Amino acid sequence: MTNSSNPPVAVVTGAARGIGLATTQLLLEDGWHVAMIDRDEPELMKVSNGLTGARPFVCDVSVPEDVDQMARQVLAWSGRIDALVNNAGVADFGPMADTDFKRWRTVMETNLDGVFLCSQALIPALKQTHGAIVNIASISGLRASTLRVAYGTSKAAVIHLTKQQAAELGEHNVRVNCVAPGPVRTKLAIAVHSPEIIAAYHDAIPLNRYGAEHEIAQAIVFLASPKASYITGQVLAADGGFESTGVGLP
Ligand code: NAD
């Protein structure tokens, strides 16, 4: 991918752990430089320490002022941005009846507003490099479930926002795609998946297992890279075949 004297630069949100950290590590292995964005300052500082080519930026992606400052700081550091991975997300598990407005807004603020804000702040730089955006949705945005009113709706909106962005940015040769992961045993999923849900997922997924962070990262890095140069506006389900079976979400 890379020219070591002029490496491509990616911005990865939610980079302090889980899928965002795995994506950062894979991009670094492929010769990218990475701006690691997270609101968890202690964890971000700990994991970025010693990652050559990476630089941490503390930012809450749901706060417009934070995002504007982050965009300025990243560009002052790198001078260019070739890819934006909108990965930061929060989990939520509850039906409509239990979801008060504050809870609903908390999910939307990170999962949807964060994608909007980071994209808007960094699109001018991406237009200059003919770069790419990869948004992270979920199979919960493709299939409804009685237990995921806020999370599933936020991720369905991310899928539609991906298509809107692809339509709008195509004339600038900026590609926008979306990865919809199935279940991955990160901190986010462990917090909300009971033993019954884990067993039900194993049954419902043709590959009979959860995904690993690096397996989702591989799909993200592919879509961010020039190897996906004629792919835009797409949703890639990295889900062990779950989406292809038509089985309902546990
Ligand atoms: P994780 O909880 O392990 O990591 C998420 C990271 O995002 C954390 O470091 C957290 O501090 C950061 N973050 C959260 N809100 C933020 C905000 N407002 N501003 C900045 N940083 C913020 O989660 P993960 O499992 O790695 O999930 C990454 C993405 O993948 C999320 O968008 C999630 O919805 C999606 N996803 C995960 C799964 C799964 O099973 N783990 C399945 C489908 C989709």
Give 39-73 pLDDT, tens digit per residue.
Answer: 999 999 999 999 999 999 999 999 999 999 999 99
Question: Which one of the listed residues 151, 201, 210, 230 is annotated catalytic?
Answer: 151
At residue 4, the pLDDT reads 55
Residue identifier of the C-alpha nearest atom 7 of ligand 1: 14
Catalytic annotation present for 151: yes
H helix or E strand, kind and range, residue 33: strand 33-38
Could you count the other beta carbons within 10 Å of the beta carbon of residue 200?
A: 16
**pLDDT, mean over the chain:** 95
Taking the centre of ligand 1 as the mean of its atom positions, its distance from the CA of residue 188, in whole angstroms, is 6
Query: Strand pairing partners for 180?
Result: 237
CB 113 within 8 A of CB 104: no
pLDDT of 128 > 80? The answer is yes
Distance 178 CA to ligand 1 centre (A): 15
Whether pTM exceeds 0.95 = yes
Grouping H, G, I as helix, E, B as strand and the rest as coil, residue 198 is helix
ipTM at complex level: 0.99
Beta bridge partners of 235: 178
Q: What is the mean pLDDT of residues 20-34?
A: 98
3-state secondary structure (DSSP) of residue 58: strand
Q: Which residues line ligand 1 (CB under 6 A)?
A: 13-14, 16-20, 38-40, 60-62, 87-90, 110, 114, 136, 138, 181, 183-184, 186-189
